[in-house]
């Protein structure tokens, strides 16, 4: 539920703030808050080498993934569709985690991922446009695919090199690197537009407190205590929730074929995450 609101925040902020500018402010505030919390709770700061690993993971997990997501939504990709494309991450994770982390990927796992991929195709097909930007286009969808790949690489790197770093201090370092990543992007491509309206402040407050601190710390804890591929499979649950929220708040609608695709993705989640014998 919390993770799904991230796509809603991207949609809410888009008319009021340039996407990379929004993330620059978000990461700066979230990183400072986590650093303060780390000092209050006397959390252990990582060694220079561990901090470097956290910086690399943060660039992929937060900078690359959220940068692509916010850019795509700001350029017309519906938030529900963005969530669904981001749901491809478990497929990419299953391919890479088995090779890099030695996690066991079963035939049942692959079957579930294949079914979910079919669901994604069903959702994209009815409204696919070949304009450059401004809706479900190869450019906006491609940006989200790159975001999903970035999150996959970041998740695996986090599991392999950063899993034992304190959550507060490690995530603070991640936001520092993500801040640099998106700030450079904003400097090159944007005018730092922030109209300071009520919706802009609400989106910023929610994204900092609930998403950048609450949701991310939960995600890091799940990675620490479980297989990356199994944790990321839960992300298949996000698109339907995000699509329902987008319909209620922004009147984003799906065709019957797209709704069927959402259901097919849910079947994929069940196949992947159900307990074995």
Most confident of 55-64, 87-96, 134-143: 55-64
Burial 1-10 (b: 16+ CB within 10 A, else e): eebbbbbbbb
Most confident of 127-131, 251-255, 265-269: 251-255
Distance CA 83, CA 208 (A): 19
Using alpha carbons only, how large is the chain's radius of gyration in Å?
18
Cβ of 32: how many Cβ atoms within 10 Å? 15
Whether 174 has a pLDDT exceeding 80, the answer reads yes
What is the phi-psi region of residue 147: left when phi exceeds 0, alpha when psi lies from -120 to 50, beta otherwise? alpha
CA torsion sign for 223, 227, 232, 237 is negative
Whether 268 has a pLDDT exceeding 60, the answer reads yes
**Band (177; pLDDT cuts 50, 70, 90):** very high
Question: pLDDT value at position 229?
Answer: 62
Q: Can you give the pTM of this predicted structure?
A: 0.86
Question: pLDDT value at position 171?
Answer: 93
Task: Give the least confident one: 81-90, 140-149, 153-162, 227-236.
Answer: 227-236
Cβ of 198: how many Cβ atoms within 10 Å? 8
Which tops the pLDDT comparison, 69 or 125?
69
**Band (155; pLDDT cuts 50, 70, 90):** confident
Question: pLDDT value at position 252?
Answer: 86
Distance CA 40, CA 60 (A): 28
**Band (103; pLDDT cuts 50, 70, 90):** low
Question: pLDDT value at position 46?
Answer: 93
Distance CA 193, CA 172 (A): 25
Which tops the pLDDT comparison, 130 or 243?
243
Contacting residues for 1 by C-beta, under 8 A, at least 6 apart: 241
Question: pLDDT value at position 277?
Answer: 46
* Mean pLDDT score, 93-121: 77
Question: pLDDT value at position 265?
Answer: 79
* Mean pLDDT score, 20-33: 96
Whether 275 has a pLDDT exceeding 60, the answer reads no
Question: pLDDT value at position 230?
Answer: 67
Whether 143 has a pLDDT exceeding 90, the answer reads yes
Mean pLDDT of the chain: 87
Q: How far from 162 is each of 49, 117, 170, 249, 275, CA to CA, in Å? A: 10, 29, 8, 37, 28
Question: pLDDT value at position 101?
Answer: 66
Question: pLDDT value at position 132?
Answer: 63
**Band (86; pLDDT cuts 50, 70, 90):** confident
């Amino acid at each position: 539920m919390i993770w799904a609101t991230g796509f809603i925040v991207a949609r809410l902020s888009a008319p009021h703030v340039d996407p990379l500018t929004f993330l620059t402010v978000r990461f700066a505030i979230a990183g400072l808050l986590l650093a303060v919390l780390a000092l209050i709770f006397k959390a252990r700061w990582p060694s220079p080498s561990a901090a470097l690993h956290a910086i690399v993971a943060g660039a992929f997990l937060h900078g690359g993934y959220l940068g692509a997501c916010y850019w795509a939504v700001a350029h017309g990709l519906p938030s529900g569709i963005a969530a669904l494309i981001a749901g491809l991450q478990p497929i990419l994770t299953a391919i890479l985690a088995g090779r890099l982390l030695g996690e066991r990927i079963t035939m049942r796992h692959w079957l579930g991922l294949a079914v979910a991929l079919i669901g994604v195709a069903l959702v994209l097909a009815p409204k696919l446009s070949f304009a450059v930007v401004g809706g479900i286009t190869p450019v906006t969808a491609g940006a989200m695919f790159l975001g999903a790949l970035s999150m996959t690489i970041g998740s695996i790197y986090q599991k392999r090199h950063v899993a034992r770093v304190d959550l507060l201090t490690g995530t603070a370092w991640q936001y520092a690197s993500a801040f640099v990543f998106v700030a450079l992007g904003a400097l090159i491509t944007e005018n730092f537009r922030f109209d300071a309206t009520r919706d802009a402040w609400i989106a910023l407050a929610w994204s900092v407190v609930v998403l950048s601190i609450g949701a991310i710390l939960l995600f890091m804890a799940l990675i620490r205590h479980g297989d990356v591929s199994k944790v990321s499979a839960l992300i298949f649950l996000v698109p339907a929730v995000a699509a329902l929220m987008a319909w209620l708040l922004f009147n984003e609608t799906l065709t019957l074929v797209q709704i069927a695709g959402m259901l097919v993705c849910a079947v994929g989640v069940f196949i992947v995450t159900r307990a074995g014998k």
